[in-house]
């Protein structure tokens, strides 16, 4: 079975500051990793994913994440945030083979202050 822990439930930052949203996972098998974003009153939108290959993956809206197998982490980063990045961010994993269900973390609410 897999589990995901997002260490911060809320992260407030100032506009144009860098941000890192932390995600750690646990799994006995190899996994694919995902970050989803949920803007107010909208569905979950995929930001980026790690399947294999380069451990640094780039996504939409200037976000990137680094897969660290030894630390079982997949932290999300952005060098300079905008007001429009205010949203809930979810880290998710699923096994690379077999079951397709996603296992989510509890989410991190990112609030950008002017």
Partner 1 sequence: EPEVTQTPSHQVTQMGQEVILRCVPISNHLYFYWYRQILGQKVEFLVSFYNNEISEKSEIFDDQFSVERPDGSNFTLKIRSTKLEDSAMYFCASRGQGANEQFFGPGTRLTVL
DSSP helix/strand/coil, 83? helix
20 binds partner 1 (CB under 8 A): no
Residue 89 CA to residue 46 CA, distance in Å, equals 10
Instruction: Please report, in angstroms and rounded to a whole number, the separation of the first and last CA atoms in the chain.
Output: 41
Contact 49, 91 (CB under 8 A): no
Choose between 15 and 44: whose C-beta lies nearer to partner 1: 44
- In the block, residue with structure tokens 């083979």: 97
109 binds partner 1 (CB under 8 A): no
Instruction: Annotate each residue in 30-69 with x if it binds partner 1 (CB under 8 A) or - if it does not, as one string.
Output: --x-x-x----xxxxxx--x-x------------------
User: Residue numbers of the site for partner 1 (CB under 8 A)?
Assistant: 32, 34, 36, 41-46, 49, 51, 90, 92, 99-107
């Amino acid at each position: 079975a897999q589990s995901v822990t997002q260490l911060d439930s809320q992260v407030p930052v100032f506009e144009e500051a860098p941000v890192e949203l932390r995600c750690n996972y646990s799994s006995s098998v190899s996994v694919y990793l995902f970050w989803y974003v949920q803007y107010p009153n909208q569905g979950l939108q995929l930001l980026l994913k790690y399947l294999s290959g380069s451990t640094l993956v780039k996504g939409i809206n200037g976000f990137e994440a680094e897969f660290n197998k030894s630390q079982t982490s997949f932290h999300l980063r952005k060098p300079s945030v905008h007001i429009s990045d205010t949203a809930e961010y979810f880290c998710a994993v699923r096994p690379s083979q077999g079951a397709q269900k996603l296992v989510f973390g509890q989410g991190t609410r990112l609030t950008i202050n002017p």
